[in-house]
Amino acid sequence: MSDSFRTVDDVKTLLESWKGFDSRQRMKFYDSWAETYDQDTEMINYRAPHLMVDFLNANFSGNREEVQVLDVACGSGLVAKLMIELGFKHFAGVDGSKGMLEQAAKTGLYQDLKLALLGTEPLPAQTGCFDVVIIVGALRDGFVPVSVVRELCDAAKPGGYICMSRVDPKSESGNKYKVSMEKELQLMEEEGLWTHVITREMDKYMMDVYNICKDVHDEQYLNGTMYLYRKSLNESLYT
């Protein structure tokens, strides 16, 4: 089918095809999806990048033109496209899909792009280098494991911001991920690695493509949670 005639049902069928995939198979799926990703996610009203960037911007203090941003699970570059409109200029990106990185490179917004399967390979970012570390949509069951949260914190400068979103669960495994992640966030705060800035619900961030209703006014949406932390200024904690 021509891309210009794609429908929500086409996207639903596409996403159903990855059920049962492991992380490497899923990245190959994203490789094949990369060229129509932006078009398809707009079709299903994928608002997570907009919500997250607005959330960060409302709570960020600093010179946007000077800060270094690490966009983790950057995909095709949707987050950088939004952040540059707000004055952010310097981006590095990491993703597990080569096809997605190729799309991100086409934006011309990233000074550095690296391929890494998070949770299996280390986050390819130097410790303590970034003013902002942001990850949108990937902290969820079957995608990026909770253990990566510490790597996000490591990549931030002392005083830097770590901005994360999590998909709220609709399954037992998803609920286990939520509990595990929130325990880790609290533990890291107790360890003095970072301080909590703000948490906010991410309302209706994407159409629930697995439960499309025939009545367009009755479509179901997925919700999520957004978190903002600030890395401790006590550099001795990291040496």
Of 5 and 48, the structure prediction assigns the larger pLDDT to: 48
**For residue range 123-167, what is the model confidence (pLDDT) as tens digits?**
999 999 999 999 998 998 888 999 999 999 999 999 999 999 998
pLDDT band at 5 (very low <50, low <70, confident <90, very high): low
* Backbone dihedral region for residue 92 (phi beyond 0: left; psi -120 to 50: alpha; all else: beta): beta
Of 203 and 72, the structure prediction assigns the larger pLDDT to: 72
For residue 2, pLDDT over 50 is answered with: no
Report the 10 Å Cβ neighbour count for 142: 16
Report the 10 Å Cβ neighbour count for 82: 18
**For residue range 35-83, what is the model confidence (pLDDT) as tens digits?**
999 999 998 889 999 999 999 999 998 899 999 999 999 999 999 999 9
pLDDT band at 26 (very low <50, low <70, confident <90, very high): confident
